[in-house]
């Protein structure tokens, strides 16, 4: 292959060399920064991506030029330098240049054992990684003596059928080629692509003169950092090991000492106080000037410090926030930059208990992590069993083939939920997220036999009462208990979110159906409730009975009589909600699900219902059957129910308005679901306005309510221009809109979604990440047409996508007033909204 | 109310008077035409809509001016004149002006009995319609003598509390007011709106001097027409009654005679040959000049003809076509006009047996007429019973709660199908239309108890074996047998359709799944097959077993092995289809329905399947359950199946290509269903192309196939621009597209659709009439974007809307290549397409 332009083979790293992370990798760039700060970095050169590619292709064999910048007798190390630290790369190779002559010489200067150790290590690394010989033949001996060395050299010659190379150029050439090629291996490629690297991501290499770490005086190697990587709290930490190289000090069984003086034994601070002080000073300097918490790799050579490398300190989520906030509070970075440094998903992690990072996981099955957080408890198979466990004070995990409305009380009682079927927006997932309950769905490795009260999985059987742990973030289902980390918003997070609120310019509301969820929403500083699903209010045992009576009522009058009994309950629900939200807006969606969801599914429930209604079982059964539907998602639900059985919406409208009057100073928003035609809105509006007029006459109070539409069908989006004639707001229900735009049921998609995403049919599960091309276009069309016809129409989305940064970006760009998401995702959405506003300011500046 | 402009109160009808159907009504306009033809029409004046409105509002009471054009001693009639004849109107009132003085005078000129009869009749009409007195008090006496007359006048005075008015102006004023007001009555309004009249449709009135029809010489009244109103065959027909008025001759019990000489007794031709010849001549003249077959009302006064009125002859569907074709063949109207005169739906009626128009109907229930035609037979409740009945040579009607794929063989065997549930595009409806089988769905008045083998309806019970008749056009379900009219395309229809094919500029294809349907499509001159649903090929008993084995196969290899057995069957199907269609294009859709549709639904089928597969019932049951879906419409079907279980499409592609080679000279079109993303097309295309390459290698023959996409999801329509990169054609499946755009399952919509249409929520069932606003916009967007990205992409629709004239109009305007509909609707679609092309020529001329 002809090369397209002259390659600048090597760049000795100096303060002024032209060096970019995108050409030479992040490590090279970082080393240049350290050199600019006058840190004692040994001579280093960088090979750019092009050069390394040429080496991998076998088109660049002559390394003479690479050796020029170094002392004749220097040993060298080679380290990978990819564009992003977490894209990985081959391991470092140290002590290049060791050969019989250098061994003899070093035996004199640093001692024979040290010299032999260096040589043996290099032979091992070279044999395994460069010559690709059998690793078993090159173990490191207990006693690094002449016999061992001779053995290693002989083993090399046996296996490689040639003597161990003595020429540094040949050695370096081999090392560079092997590292360049390792970058192109399949597993390396998959690994970095999983971290978001592009297919053509390049590798740079850094060649550095070795600071030996072995020899006379205080010599050794260590790693130092200045905050705790779990909490982010300031604290000098790290390890140092005399007469060692690289990251040896971090090996669990090494005799390494701590750095700062404390009660745990000897420290570097005591052994070499000046070097320690210098290191702390350098750490502070790097924090100030690199604007980041670093972890620094250093060597002492006879007491002199050499800085070999520094990386951005790897840290847990909590520390990420603490560090960013501290950097901003110290004036090192701006608040905006602190906000930009935190992934919104990180906040969601902090809000939930997590399995301790290093805890062993006996994973028996993996599903879709549908509601983050972790919990453990005894397996139960029914809502009743979950409630019984709660009553006994036992933790439990509710395991079901799938969940339905009847399981809701059981979900309230359980500590986690697992379902065999369903996807990211299945019933279990949606309710789980609402409750902040860890939830794994679509765990198709499991066969849940609810009747037999057992789970079959990969040859083993789990029975009721067995303890399992559930990781709702990863989807892991684990046998037995595991240690957990507790959750909570600490001061740093609170501070960060305050800054986010200052920056963002779109409201974030929460989807909340119950007082509990409303309290949570308020706790997370949501700007109101964007979606209150009233149906969940009907699943409490007492109300369910009344609801069923209503469904079985034979006439509008009977129905109204039953609904009159539900009215005070609904009114009380809304009063509670309005009181909790303290005047913030609350958008209540009128009843949405098909009525059959409120009916029992099993024989026992059927018999109970028959006896409650004083009807023959046969009749109850046939009426339930008559209500059943082929495609309930596309059936008699939402406004279709509201128009066919208008008494239900009448009752709900009255409950909302009366509650608003009781609480006072509330402007409730009433939302009609599943609209597909303008006239539907007209008809409901007429009745709601009539109810409002009645309430006004009865109470003398005029409630300032607004009526709007949930846009869930493609047709509602397309016809929004005429729909807004009767609607003061449009709230896009992106779950259902996605289902209908794709012709894809969220409950059934689980079966093929993973195959689809794997094959790249969909770039991502569209229920997880808003499909900007299709659903997004409908969203934008709907918003444009709605606003054109009614400039003051309020626009929002209230689906599961509400917290997705891309969705927020799109909504903000389209001039939406707010997004609404589950309470636990509100903090992440507040942050994401701030980031989008900041980005926008940066690009339009 | 102030009148907005000077009302020209009356217009005496003369050849040159300014008279328009839109101002004075169709009757006034027609009378003017007769006058222009010099026909002997008595003096007539017309009152325009405005005047009649003013009369109804009580703002116009003085009728003096109306009387001016008439002789002092003329009796008058008043007839309604609405814009369209079939919008109805109040009945005519005759003999206005009769009073004691006129009675005495007429007694002298025409005889006392005749004069008394006229007076009595007028008193009766006036009392009932104008004075609104009790009709029972004004029966017509057997003996019209002085006693009876005195009694009638006394009865009037008793009831009205005033004497019978003697002043002609007072009489006329009352008649006009009562007729004007009757037009505004609720039932009159509903009746005409049902016929398509606008809410503000006006009524004109026609006042005419009476030609008495009683008196000396040959006097009487009659009605004459010149073709048979059932067949349209030329034949003078009608009735004449001496000494009568109006349409008395048509009363069943009158002594009226026939007009033309034949074997049925005396005729007008014999009694008054000159008058008869004149009438025939006038009939011919009116046909030539009014360019229509007319029915003429005439009076003989002492042998002289008076023409009172003429209307467009009311006629049956068959006669409509015959008359139009004959008019065009005689050069009276153009072919284009003949085409424009026939409603496309009329042709569909002619293709099916009909219940005789006047047969009594003992209707027990009414559903949705989902597949036109009528049939009767014994009630059966299962496919097996239907097949058994067929085997015995008995006609039967299959009655089911709903039908599924397992009923298809039963539907083939039955003479009609009734389902309790489902809508216009439910399974039963779609299959019924395909088979040309009369079908009524959504007959929710019935309760079908399949287990008990009986139907509960409105208090009565129908049992297996009872005979019922089904009218698939009206939705009537009738107890017992009824007389039927047989179906068939006669010469006139064939001629008309030949003309249509000359005019139209868009192809009409048929949806045909079987050889039988393909034969029918070819018989109806379809331009090819637009949709061959391959799944219907798998429901034959022998294949169903293999299909189920395939579904239960554990690996891709097992699946392939089973599919190898299905391959020759599928290939044979396609060979048959290709042979029948003789080189016309055939578009084959790859497998679409979810696999669970092929599995048994009942215990017995389950046990049979278990024993066929040699598996425990429990296991079969649990695997069937695992395949079940919440919303099958939105689940694992169509291309999702094709991608997840690719062996099925491989087999089908091979069967299509091998069949094309076997038949020769065939360019098959292969269509992928349920596409929602570009990559789906890419993946299937890759495999189909690979199969084609294999077939080419094996056979040495290169089949010229094309691959395209069925656009059924809103997303596919929105993203058609990228989808066409891999698709040579886009065929819009408007059934599913409608379902998804509305979020409305066609199977479940039946429950509320009628309420929705009644309340005007939807102007019409969108599965019946294409929704041009929502679904139509997606169609147009999809077509535009597809064509912009690939100018040669072939565009079509293949849903149930394919025969809907509005859909054809939209498709033609958007540059579509063809529409495809069920075979029986092809003739109507050919006609509709011609009409649209003609209209377009007229408007763009």
Contact A586, A575 (CB under 8 A): no
Q: What is the pLDDT of residue A8?
A: 60
Determine phi and psi for B663, rounding to 5 degrees: -80, -35
Q: What is the pLDDT of residue A621?
A: 85
Residue B133: name the closest of B90, B106, B162 by CA.
B162
Residue entry with tokens 């579509």: B816
Per-residue pLDDT band at A5 (split at 50, 70, 90) = very low
Classify burial at A252, counting beta carbons within 10 Å of its beta carbon; exposed 0-12, middle 13-18, buried 19 or more: exposed
Task: Tell me which of A714, A722, A760, A779 to substitute to probe the interface with B (most B C-beta atoms closer than 10 Å).
Answer: A714
Q: What is the pLDDT of residue B69?
A: 92
Largest Cα–Cα distance of chain A, in whole Å?
106
B753-790 tens-digit pLDDT:
878 988 889 998 898 899 999 999 999 999 999 999 99
B567 interfaces chain A, CB cutoff of 8 Å: no
Q: Identify the active-site residue in B427, B596, B768, B801.
A: B427
Total length of chain B: 845
Q: What is the pLDDT of residue A199?
A: 86
Q: What is the pLDDT of residue B451?
A: 84
Residue of B nearest to A748 (CA): B635
Q: In Å, how far is A791's CA from the nearest CA of chain B?
A: 22
Q: Identify the active-site residue in B30, B48, B587, B798.
A: B798
Residue A85 CB coordination number (10 Å): 18
Q: In Å, how far is A720's CA from the nearest CA of chain B?
A: 11
* Residue of higher predicted confidence among A494 and A427: A494
DSSP state letter for A719: T
A165-195 tens-digit pLDDT:
999 999 999 999 999 999 998 888 888 888 8
Please report, in angstroms and rounded to a whole number, the separation of the first and last CA atoms in chain B. 44
Token pair listed for B783: 């077509």
| Least confident piece of the model among A314-323, A346-355, B300-309, B570-579 | A346-355
Coil/strand/helix, residue A615? coil
Judging by DSSP bridges, how do beta strands B439-441 and B416-419 pair with one another? parallel
Taking the C-alpha atoms of residue B805 and residue B786, their distance in angstroms, rounded to an integer, is 23
Percent of chain A with pLDDT over 70: 99
* A752 vs B contacts (CB less than 8 Å): 636, 640, 643-644
Per-residue pLDDT band at A845 (split at 50, 70, 90) = low
User: Cβ B747–A630 below 8 Å, yes or no?
Assistant: yes
> Is the predicted pLDDT of residue A1 greater than 70, yes or no?
no
A39-95 tens-digit pLDDT:
999 999 999 999 999 999 998 888 988 999 999 889 999 999 999 988 988 999 999
Taking the C-alpha atoms of residue A401 and residue A403, their distance in angstroms, rounded to an integer, is 7
Taking the C-alpha atoms of residue B540 and residue B136, their distance in angstroms, rounded to an integer, is 66
Classify burial at A132, counting beta carbons within 10 Å of its beta carbon; exposed 0-12, middle 13-18, buried 19 or more: exposed
One-character DSSP codes across B653-703:
HHHHHHHHHHH-S---EEEE-S--SHHHHHHHHHHHHHHHHHHHHHHS---
Angle between helices B146-160 and B112-125 (to 10 degrees): 20
C-alpha dist (Å) from residue B559 to B96, B589, B673, B693: 88, 21, 21, 22
What Rg, from alpha-carbon coordinates, does chain A have?
A: 33
C-alpha dist (Å) from residue A211 to A65, A75, A208, A214, A313: 21, 8, 9, 9, 22
Global pTM value: 0.80
Taking the C-alpha atoms of residue A656 and residue A635, their distance in angstroms, rounded to an integer, is 26
C-alpha dist (Å) from residue A431 to A413, A425, A512, A597, A823: 13, 9, 10, 15, 12
Question: Looking at chain A from residue 613 to 642, which residues have their Cβ under 8 Å from any Cβ of chain B?
Answer: 629-636, 640
* Residue of higher predicted confidence among A544 and A718: A718
Contact A818, A509 (CB under 8 A): yes
> Is the predicted pLDDT of residue A722 greater than 80, yes or no?
yes
B111 interfaces chain A, CB cutoff of 8 Å: no
Residue of B nearest to A714 (CA): B741
B752 interfaces chain A, CB cutoff of 8 Å: yes
A434-478 tens-digit pLDDT:
788 999 998 988 899 888 899 988 778 999 999 999 999 889 999
Determine phi and psi for B253, rounding to 5 degrees: -95, 15
One-character DSSP codes across B721-746:
HHHGGG-SEEEE-HHHHHHHHHT--T
Taking the C-alpha atoms of residue A468 and residue A479, their distance in angstroms, rounded to an integer, is 5
Provide the strand spans (E) within A420-526: 439-441, 446-449, 454-457, 460-463, 467-471, 476-479, 484-485, 507-511
* A761 vs B contacts (CB less than 8 Å): 643, 677, 679-680, 683
Q: Nearest by CB to B747, from A631, A777, A778: name it.
A: A631
Coil/strand/helix, residue B312? strand
Residue of A nearest to B420 (CA): A626
Token pair listed for B113: 């009995």
Question: Looking at chain B from residue 654 to 713, which residues have their Cβ under 8 Å from any Cβ of chain A?
Answer: 674, 676-677, 679-680, 683, 712-713
Q: What is the pLDDT of residue B8?
A: 60
Q: What is the pLDDT of residue B2?
A: 38
DSSP collapsed to 3 states, B435-470: HCCCEEECCCCEEEECCCCEEEECCEEEECCCEEEE
The predicted model gives A493-508 an average pLDDT of 97
Q: What is the pLDDT of residue B845?
A: 61
Residue B538 CB coordination number (10 Å): 21
Coil/strand/helix, residue A355? strand
Q: In Å, how far is B550's CA from the nearest CA of chain A?
A: 18
Residue of A nearest to B402 (CA): A630
A126-164 tens-digit pLDDT:
999 999 999 888 888 888 899 999 999 999 999 999 999
Taking the C-alpha atoms of residue A817 and residue A508, their distance in angstroms, rounded to an integer, is 9
Q: Which of A136-144's residues contact partners 24+ apart within 8 Å by CB, and which partners?
A: A144/A113, A144/A116, A144/A117, A144/A120
The predicted model gives A781-792 an average pLDDT of 97
What Rg, from alpha-carbon coordinates, does chain B have?
A: 33
Judging by DSSP bridges, how do beta strands B294-301 and B220-227 pair with one another? antiparallel
Q: In Å, how far is A659's CA from the nearest CA of chain B?
A: 31
Q: Which residues of chain B have pLDDT under 50?
A: 1-7
Taking the C-alpha atoms of residue A318 and residue A326, their distance in angstroms, rounded to an integer, is 12
Taking the C-alpha atoms of residue B274 and residue A799, their distance in angstroms, rounded to an integer, is 85
The rounded Cα A49 to chain-centroid distance in angstroms is 31
A743 interfaces chain B, CB cutoff of 8 Å: yes
Contact A256, A264 (CB under 8 A): no
């Amino acid at each position: 292959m002809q090369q397209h332009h002259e390659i600048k083979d090597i760049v000795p790293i100096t303060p002024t060399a032209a060096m970019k992370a995108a050409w030479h990798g992040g490590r090279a760039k970082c080393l240049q920064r350290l050199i600019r700060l006058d840190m004692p970095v040994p001579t280093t050169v960088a090979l750019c991506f092009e050069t390394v590619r040429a080496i991998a292709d076998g088109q660049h064999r002559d390394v003479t030029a690479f050796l020029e910048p170094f002392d004749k007798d220097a040993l060298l190390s080679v380290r990978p330098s990819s564009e992003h630290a977490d894209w990985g790369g081959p391991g470092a190779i140290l002590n290049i240049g060791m050969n019989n002559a250098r061994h003899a010489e070093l035996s004199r200067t640093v001692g024979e054992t040290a010299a032999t150790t260096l040589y043996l290590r290099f032979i091992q690394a070279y044999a395994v990684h460069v010559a690709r010989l059998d690793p078993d033949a090159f173990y490191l001996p207990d006693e690094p003596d002449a016999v061992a060395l001779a053995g290693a050299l002989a083993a090399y010659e046996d296996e490689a059928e040639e003597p161990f190379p003595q020429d540094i150029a040949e050695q370096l050439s081999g090392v560079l080629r092997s590292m360049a090629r390792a970058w192109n291996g399949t597993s390396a490629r998959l690994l970095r692509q999983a971290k978001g690297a592009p297919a053509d991501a390049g590798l740079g290499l850094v060649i550095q003169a070795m600071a030996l770490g072995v020899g006379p005086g205080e010599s050794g190697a260590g790693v130092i950092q200045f905050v705790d990587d779990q909490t982010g709290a300031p604290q000098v930490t790290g390890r140092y090991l005399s007469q060692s190289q690289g990251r040896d000090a971090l090996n669990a069984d090494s005799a390494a000492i701590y750095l700062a003086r404390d009660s745990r034994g000897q420290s570097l601070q005591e052994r070499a106080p000046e070097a320690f002080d210098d290191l702390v000073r350098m750490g502070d300097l790097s924090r100030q000037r690199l604007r980041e918490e670093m972890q620094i790799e250093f060597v002492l050579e006879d007491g002199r410090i050499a800085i070999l490398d520094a990386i951005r300190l790897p840290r847990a989520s909590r520390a990420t926030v603490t560090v960013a906030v501290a950097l901003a509070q110290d004036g090192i970075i701006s608040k905006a930059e602190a906000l930009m440094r935190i992934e919104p998903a990180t906040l969601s992690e902090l809000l939930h208990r997590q399995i301790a990072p290093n805890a062993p996981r006996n994973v028996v099955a993996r599903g879709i992590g549908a509601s983050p957080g972790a919990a453990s408890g005894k397996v139960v198979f029914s809502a009743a069993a979950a409630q019984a466990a709660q009553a006994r004070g036992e933790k439990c995990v509710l395991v079901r083939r799938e969940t339905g409305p009847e399981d809701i009380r059981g979900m309230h009682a359980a500590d986690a939920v697992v379902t065999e079927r369903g996807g990211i927006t299945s019933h279990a997932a949606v309710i789980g997220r609402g409750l902040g309950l860890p939830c794994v769905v679509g765990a198709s490795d499991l066969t849940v036999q609810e009747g037999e009260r057992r789970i079959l999985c990969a040859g083993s059987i789990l029975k009721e009462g067995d303890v399992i742990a559930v990781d709702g973030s990863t989807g892991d289902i684990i046998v037995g208990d595991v240690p957990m980390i507790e959750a909570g918003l600490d001061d740093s997070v609170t501070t960060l979110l305050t800054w986010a609120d200052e920056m963002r310019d779109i409201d974030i509301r929460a989807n909340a159906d119950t007082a509990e969820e409303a309290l949570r929403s308020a706790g997370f500083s949501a700007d109101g409730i964007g979606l209150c699903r009233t149906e969940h209010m009907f699943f409490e045992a007492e109300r369910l009975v009344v609801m069923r009576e209503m469904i079985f009522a034979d006439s509008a009058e009977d129905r109204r009589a039953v609904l009159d009994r539900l009215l005070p309950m609904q009114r009380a629900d809304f009063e509670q909600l309005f009181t909790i939200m303290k005047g913030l807006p609350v958008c209540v969606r009128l009843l949405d699900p098909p009525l059959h969801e409120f009916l029992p599914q099993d024989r026992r429930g059927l018999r109970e219902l028959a006896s409650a209604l004083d009807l023959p079982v046969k009749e109850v059964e046939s009426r339930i059957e008559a209500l059943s539907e082929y495609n309930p998602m596309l059936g008699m639900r939402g406004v279709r129910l509201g128009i066919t059985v208008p008494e239900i919406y009448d009752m709900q409208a009255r409950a909302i308005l009366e509650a608003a009057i009781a609480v006072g100073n509330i402007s409730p928003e009433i939302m009609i679901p599943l609209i597909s035609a303008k006239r539907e809105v007209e008809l409901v509006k007429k009745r709601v306005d009539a109810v409002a007029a009645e309430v006004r006459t009865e109470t003398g109070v005029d409630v300032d309510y607004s009526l709007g539409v949930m846009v869930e069908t493609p047709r509602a989006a397309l016809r929004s221009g005429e729909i807004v004639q009767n609607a003061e707001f449009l709230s896009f229900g992106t779950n259902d809109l996605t289902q209908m735009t794709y012709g894809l049921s969220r409950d059934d998609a689980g079966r093929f979604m993973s195959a689809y995403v794997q094959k790249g049919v969909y770039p991502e599960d569209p229920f997880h990440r808003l499909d900007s091309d299709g659903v997004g276009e409908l969203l934008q069309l709907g918003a444009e047409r709605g606003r054109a016809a009614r400039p003051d129409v309020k626009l929002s989305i209230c689906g599961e996508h509400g917290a997705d940064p891309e969705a927020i970006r799109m909504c903000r760009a389209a001039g939406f007033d707010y997004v609404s998401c589950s309470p636990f995702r509100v903090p992440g959405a507040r942050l994401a909204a701030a980031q989008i506003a900041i980005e926008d300011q940066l690009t339009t500046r």
